[in-house]
Amino acid sequence: MHTKRPLFNSLTILFSITLVLTACQQKNTQNTAEQKKRTDSSSTLPKPTTTVKKDLGKMVSDLKASMVSYMHTAQPSYTMDDINNCEIIIKRYLTDIQSSKNRSDGMAIVKTAILELNRLNNKTQETLIETGEREQIAEIIILASSSKGYNTVDEDITEEWREW
């Protein structure tokens, strides 16, 4: 009988260790799965719109500064009022596109902004929006719309209506 007791204790200890190790392994597997799930879901989430807005706001400011600088050095046929109107159109576009609910509404907002910019540029004998400004404005419009998932950053959604 004395020989069975240590075997019983050894089996009990071995069984207990196996249970503890199995429980630890299951917990580790759960933690790894939860961590992977958090990592996977965070990598597919869009960038916060506050970051996009901040970058777009700086882009609008840079565009305006460039137009003002050029106006003072080259004396084109546009005025400070024209620059301010351009800024108003772009800022209204940014506000409207952020509050849009679907791609169809978003594209209507893009079209409206582009047509307004066309009219403003025509008023200035096509001098307000030249090559540099065209690139900056198109990038602002494309980035804002892509932040809503309506297009990719490589897709020029302005081209259909743009005259500049």
Q: Which region among 33-42, 77-86, 111-120, 131-140 has the lowest average model confidence (pLDDT)?
A: 33-42
Position 4 pLDDT exceeds 90: no
- How many domains is the chain built from? 2
58 and 138 inside one domain? yes
75 and 130 inside one domain? yes
138 and 91 inside one domain? yes
Residue 154 within a domain: no
38 and 61 inside one domain? no
Residue 157 within a domain: no
Domain boundaries, position 39: 1-45
88 and 127 inside one domain? yes
Name the pTM for this structure: 0.68
Q: What is the pLDDT of residues 98-111, one digit of tens each?
A: 999 999 999 999 99
Report helix angle 80-99 to 103-123, nearest 10.
180
Q: Which residues touch 63 (CB under 8 Å, ≥6 apart)?
A: 86, 87, 90, 133, 136, 137, 140
Residue 5 within a domain: yes
130 and 112 inside one domain? yes
Residue 10 within a domain: yes
Q: What is the pLDDT of residues 98-153, one digit of tens each?
A: 999 999 999 999 999 999 999 999 999 999 999 999 999 999 999 999 999 999 99
Nearest in space to 60 (alpha carbons), one of 117, 145, 136, 163: 136
* pLDDT of res. 143: 97
